[in-house]
A and B are shown apart, each in its own frame.
Chain A
Amino acid sequence: MEMNENINVQHGHTHEAHGHDEHHHHHKETFWNKYVFSTDHKMISKQFLITAIIMGFLAMFMSLIFRLQLAWPDEKFGFLESIIGKWGANGKLDPGFYLALVTIHGTIMVFFVLTGGLSGTFSNLLIPLQVGARDMASGFLNMLSYWFFLASSVVMVASLFVEGGPASGGWTIYPPLSALPQAISGSGLGMTLWLVSMVLFIVSALLGGINYVTTVINLRTKGLSMKRLPLTIWAFTITAILGILSFPVLVAAALLLVFDRSMGTSFYLSDIFIGGVPLEHVGGSPILFQHLFWFLGHPEVYIVLLPALGLASEVIATQARKPIFGYMAMVLSMAVIAFLSFIVWGHHMFVTGMNPFLGSVFVFTTLLVAIPSAVKVFNYLATLWRANIKLSNAMLFAVGLVSFFISGGLTGIILGDSALDINIHDTYFVVAHFHIVMGASAIFGMFAGIYHWFPRMFGRMMNKKLGYAHFWMTLVSVYGVFFPMHFLGLGGVPRRYYANTAYAEFDAFININELISVMAIIGGLAQLIFAFNFFYSIFKGKKAEQNPWNSTTLEWTAPVEHLHGNWPGPIPTVHRWPYDYGKPGAKEDFIPQTVPFEDTPESNHAGMH
């Protein structure tokens, strides 16, 4: 090891040149620059995480309110009035506000929790620590990334309080509904704030993404070739590239919508007669918006999912005490999924009147996604096969992720088939599908990440028993909520309906709706256990060891106590791939990446890495 350190000192000068260490010594740490205007990636990751948890609870709470309405449409809930005021007058949820809840629930979950929260937290925490960098390429841009995220969160939450209500046209904000306040009151100031919030959010995502990619390309420590990157880093990098390429398109889409809304242009509007008058807009196409929206919207699904898969890969390999099966296949399949994600957006639009031949092309590209996805699933299964599995909280969540990825992925094959989509498009089948494959999978990946890296973030352990309770309750409730929705969808029940009471044919599903809501409430309670465990453990959790899971990757070589610059001495050098778990002949069941092959003659014959 001493020799390595000498090498490190020689090669470490480029990193030292960044001056983080000096910075640390020269400036006194105040409350403001430590907790608020921090440029330290570890603090920024905590800021992202805690903001996302708060936003996540808000969005979850919204879903519970509309679940009450859906299961018991004839009941009155007196407490609603005290929470949401005029929208819950006399204990009845207002139908317009129902749509607002659905819209903001989706927006917050997709963007603020599963994009900002997931990538923001774990790319920030793990990229510098796992590539062996003192910090992100630009700490300042990183700080800005968080502050734009916070600003966008604040604007989004503020939109809940405007008089006409927040945006209510669904999280996909299709015009003309989203463009015309005459069509729905949420399309007034609420929609304006939604658009402002999204633009701020995208600025945050871009600043973050550019930083992540730059850091991974430029700041890898000595010996850390791309082929030795942990799968987490691959996932974050590919995700960041997806975001950089697709989010600007959403800005363009939003900007044109702003023009249509307030400057009288006609990009998306044409031939509209509303409120007793014909509008002047002529020549636009509402379908254009959908093309632009889904050009981001579909990659967005993978922006949400890939980091979760990356986190799960890392956790599974670590806790299975076994290398991830097919490392290169895992990287390649992520790259292929990312590439395909740009040419499948049309499958959201099979019934928009798009040319049927174009639809056929999108069927073809969409179903191709199933191939790399299948490879990933089989590789996870092969990793678990003949493993020596330690069921930590994180491991259970990672296993749950794989289960959801299978369940939701398979129903995607049905939705991606245009002929079948005709009948189930926009029904609860779709709601079931995307909540399982992207909502539940991604949030389980995020939970896996939180439980696994909590000691790295806060220097303490989360309570295991509460973690187990959280996991089992959440797993059962997620399946309990979303599996039955497939039946609703196949029965023809449309999504975004305030009540089905006008449809005798849906009476058979009343029981299902009650079951779903009960399960949702159980799921909500489980998250309270999590929240308690999380905040309690930050202050009172058991002190963490340096490397509590016996992991191989670099982040566990940094001291438990955080310091700006991550490692007190020189940056560690990497000598091997990150998955030397259970190597035959090795003294222990893991060999950290920092151990050179010269030190492990007994196990070198076993792997080529």
Chain B
Amino acid sequence: MNLILILITVFTTLILVRLMNISQLSAQLAGEDEEAEVLRDNKINSFLSFVLMIVGLVAIGYMTLRYSKFILPVAASEHGVKIDNLLWINFAIIGVVFVITQIALFYFVWKYQYRPGEKAYYFPHNNKLEIIWTVIPAIVLMVLIVTGLRVWNEVTMGDRSDGMVIQVYGKQFDWTARYSGKDNKLGASSFRMIADDNELGVDMNDKASADDIVMKEIYLPVDQPVMMEFNSRDVIHSAYFPHFRAQMNCVPGMTTNFYFKPTITTAQMREITGKPEFDYILLCNKICGVAHYNMKMKVVVVSKEEFKQWIQGGKQLGETISTTTAHVNTNGNVQNSLLP
């Protein structure tokens, strides 16, 4: 098999070499005028550039139409809609610039193709033009910066005290959620306290820990803001919720957060998309190891009543972890808690 491949490669190369020799020799024999050849090549290639421009724009238009229903799934969070609107404004502007400049580029290549005896228009500089095409992009960009930062500030800053606190905890290669319970406060935790029955290393000496509930799925009540706090125990992961337009890295050694409000329940989304099996997902979007591509979790958005029922099905950590084991890791080493 390999031998055949090698032989094919060698012979193809040899044949190509022969063909090249022949074509060069025949060109010399025919005594083809070099100027005529340049002219012919120029015509063919400038024509191709014109064709490419048309075909390219048609292909881009076709693909955009064909795939527009698959891109940007319906935004299921309050800020997601704003991000999408901002995105469309940006696309409109860059789309116009893209079409104009690409047409100009390939059209010029075709239109101003080499003609013997003609001379290019000597036009080395023009300060007025330079100023125009410095100032106009500057103005457009200022508009984009200001509109963009307005959305960014809304998404990332402001009062978030009404958010239901949920910890999203990444490790190779799965996710775990910890709900903060009635006090809406997550108990402290430390990687040194991780044990078989305490996957997240929650410090049971912290009073806030007892009512925390660890879950293997995320349920969110609709129209209830959530404050997600992200942690990782090993490498960097990234918690990406494409439908909520939400993403935040999970970094070992620090806590990050993302605040958002889901607005569409899973049931509603199944109707909107026409897919009865639809589910929101949380996926890992930062390379984290061999099974990175399978690190996902189901996310379900339900009504507030359904959420209450669901969360009652979970056990509070006070019931599942005893305070004594909390100080012992799987090695059996007794650790000093880093926390008071």
Q: List A residues at the B interface (Cβ < 8 Å).
A: 79, 82, 95-96, 99, 169-170, 174, 176-177, 180, 183-184, 269-274, 276-278, 283-287, 320-329, 351-353, 356-357, 359-360, 363-364, 367-368, 370-371, 374-375, 377-382, 384-391, 396, 399, 402-403, 406-407, 410-411, 413-414, 417-420, 422-423, 425-427, 463-465, 468, 472, 475-476, 479, 483-484, 487, 490-492, 494, 496-500, 502-505, 508-509, 512, 532, 536, 540, 542, 579, 581-584, 589, 606-607, 609
Contacts and interface: CB of A to CB of B under 8 A. Distances in A.
Which among B134, B171, B233, B249 has the greatest number of chain A C-beta atoms within 10 A?
B249
Contacts of B49: 391, 396, 399
Contact of B194 (A278, A284, A581): A278
Nearest to A353: B256
Interface string B118-131: 11111111100110
A512 to B, nearest CB: 7
Contacts of A283: 253
19 contacts: A82-B1, A176-B235, A183-B289, A184-B290, A272-B234, A272-B252, A277-B331, A286-B252, A359-B156, A375-B130, A375-B134, A386-B120, A387-B120, A407-B102, A423-B83, A423-B247, A426-B247, A491-B70, A503-B296
A484 B112 contact: no
Which among B73, B82, B152 has the greatest number of chain A C-beta atoms within 10 A?
B152
Given A327-B124, A391-B42, A418-B148, A536 B72 contact: no
A496 B112 contact: no
Interface in B169-198: 171-172, 190-192, 194
Contacts of A270: 252-254
Contacts, number: 362
Interface string B279-322: 00101111111111110100000000000000000000000000
Interface string B128-141: 01100110011001
Which among B108, B122, B236, B329 has the greatest number of chain A C-beta atoms within 10 A?
B122
Nearest to A489: B71
B194 A410 contact: no
Q: How large is the interface on B (under 10, 10 to 19, 20 to 34, 35 or more residues)?
A: 35 or more
Given A389-B114, A512-B67, A532-B13, A420 B87 contact: yes
Nearest to B201: A273
A389 B113 contact: yes
B26 interface: no
A498 B293 contact: yes
Contacts of B114: 321, 388-391
B25 to A, nearest CB: 11
Interface of B: 1-2, 13, 16-17, 20-21, 23-24, 38, 41-42, 44-46, 48-49, 52, 56, 60, 63, 67, 70-73, 80, 82-83, 86-87, 90-91, 94, 97-98, 101-102, 104-106, 108-109, 112-115, 118-126, 129-130, 133-134, 137-138, 141, 144-145, 148-149, 151-153, 155-157, 171-172, 190-192, 194, 201, 230, 233-236, 238, 240, 242-243, 245-249, 251-257, 277, 281, 283-294, 296, 329-331, 335
B124 A609 contact: yes
Contact of B60 (A287, A390, A483): A483
B336 to A, nearest CB: 12
Contact of B83 (A422, A494, A498): A422
